[in-house]
Amino acid sequence: MNLSQRRTAQLFVAALLWTVFSVSAATPTALKVYVGGQQRPDIMRELFAQYMAAHPDVSVSLEVGGATSDLHQKYLNMVLTAGDSSLDVFLIDVIRPAQFAAAGWAEPLNDYLGANLEPVMSRYLPAYRTASTINNRVVALPALADALFLYYRKDLLTKYGIKPPTTWPELALAARKIQQGERNADLQGLSFQAKSIEGAVCTFLLPYWSQGGELLDDGKMSFDRPKAEAGLRMWLDMVNQGVTKPNVAEVGTDDTRKEFQAGKVIFAVNWGYAWNHFAGGASSAVKGKVGVVKLPAMPGGKSVSCMGGWDWAVSAFSKNKAAAVALVRWLSSPEVSRQLAIKASFHPVFESVYRDPEVVAAVPWFADALSVIESARPRPVTPMYRAVSDALRINTNTVMAGVKTPEAALAEIEIRLARAMR
């Protein structure tokens, strides 16, 4: 090769390297985010557009999954069990962090947060901060809060001079008084979830927690059978007194929402999503007639709600973890929480956002919601949560269906919990 040819080859290599470098530098880091169908993908896309405008070196795409927590989880189980790196960021139900930590599916965030760990985590509502931290490792960052509320017919309580009940027996008395006065055979006093779904876990726990019962004590099983039996018998009394319909064992979360929305229920136990259906749904028969308060307590106990919500997690298999963590930190910030509250009525995970004037103006009922959110407790935080859930929901359902006595169901619950926690 002569000098001219050598010079030409050098120029060619230099040009090729410059082109490769330029293309590489101009290609943004691609992140894929997975959310469920119930988490307003349209608004999530708006958020990602904002992020990309501020971070032109990052490209964010969205994958939308199932419309329920169970469907959402089934897909993540399949993808993450296979070690698939196609997802970088995903929402997980607040009951899942311990499972994801034990499976090694979620990237621990402590090292990425560094000196900012405590300042970042201290901003969140305490229950959400606790639920997303497993064995001192931050597994996820809180995204959306939720809790079970007691919805009630303001118009009917006012008509009969009744104040919102503070105990379950008070609720039963109020419901029967209104039912008798209205003389409407289709009017239920109370709707709650006893179908064999996750909602039945909360149905079991609400009166149990209200009495001070615990399922886990320092990671070990703790089961107070008398308190558990008192809770199940309280629900059975609602059926026996005609407050709740006999086939409550077939009632799921959206069944309660539809029945109350149709004007067929006086009191309803349901999650925050139901409010928009009641207050703004075109087909709502109760628009302008709905109040919301803390759940009643067991006599001598305290009001306790069941915590719901979602966390942002970074996949342990992501090839762009640093960029994914940066995105998650922004998605779980007060700024984004405020936007989600205003645009989608999603409950914030920051106390300050509930008091934001624009949030209160956009979602006035959040002024009542905060005290309920703060009364909520996380379901047992354990990698064996699936076994715990199965024990509680299946047996609660069979008791309410009349298939098992409370004694038989509680004996099986205790055996299952002992097996799961050993």
pLDDT per residue over 348-369, tens digit each?
999 999 999 999 999 999 988 9
**Which of 65-69, 73-77, 90-94 has the lowest average pLDDT?**
65-69
pTM of the complete model beyond 0.85? yes
The tokens of 204 are what?
Answer: 């079991």
Closest alpha carbon to 257 in 192, 330, 306, 303: 192
Instruction: Measure the CA–CA gap between 3 and 293, rounded to whole angstroms.
Output: 87
- Is the pLDDT at 306 greater than 80? The verdict is yes
Percent of the chain that is helix, strand, coil (3-state, to 5): 50, 15, 30
Instruction: Measure the CA–CA gap between 101 and 132, rounded to whole angstroms.
Output: 10
What domains can you pick out in the chain, each with its CATH number? 9-146+308-377 (3.40.190.10), 148-306+379-421 (3.40.190.10)
Model confidence pLDDT, tens digit, residues 184-226: 989 999 999 999 999 999 999 999 999 999 998 877 888 999 9
Q: Where are the beta strands (DSSP E) in 53-135?
A: 58-64, 89-93, 133-134
Model confidence pLDDT, tens digit, residues 147-189: 999 999 999 999 999 999 999 999 999 999 999 999 998 999 9
Q: Is 57 helix (H, G, I), strand (E, B) or coil?
A: coil
Q: Strands 305-314 and 141-147: what pairing?
A: antiparallel
- Is the pLDDT at 7 greater than 60? The verdict is no
Residue-by-residue DSSP string for 212-268: T--SEETTEE---HHHHHHHHHHHHHHHHTTSS-TTGGG--HHHHHHHHHTT-EEEE
What residue spans of 82-197 are helical by DSSP H?
Answer: 97-103, 110-113, 117-121, 126-131, 154-159, 168-182
CB 248 within 8 A of CB 194: yes
Report DSSP state, residue 348. P
pLDDT, position 14: 47
pLDDT, position 216: 84
Instruction: Measure the CA–CA gap between 48 and 50, rounded to whole angstroms.
Output: 5
Model confidence pLDDT, tens digit, residues 224-259: 999 999 999 999 999 999 999 999 999 999 999 999
What would the mean pLDDT of 52-71 be, rounded to a whole number?
92
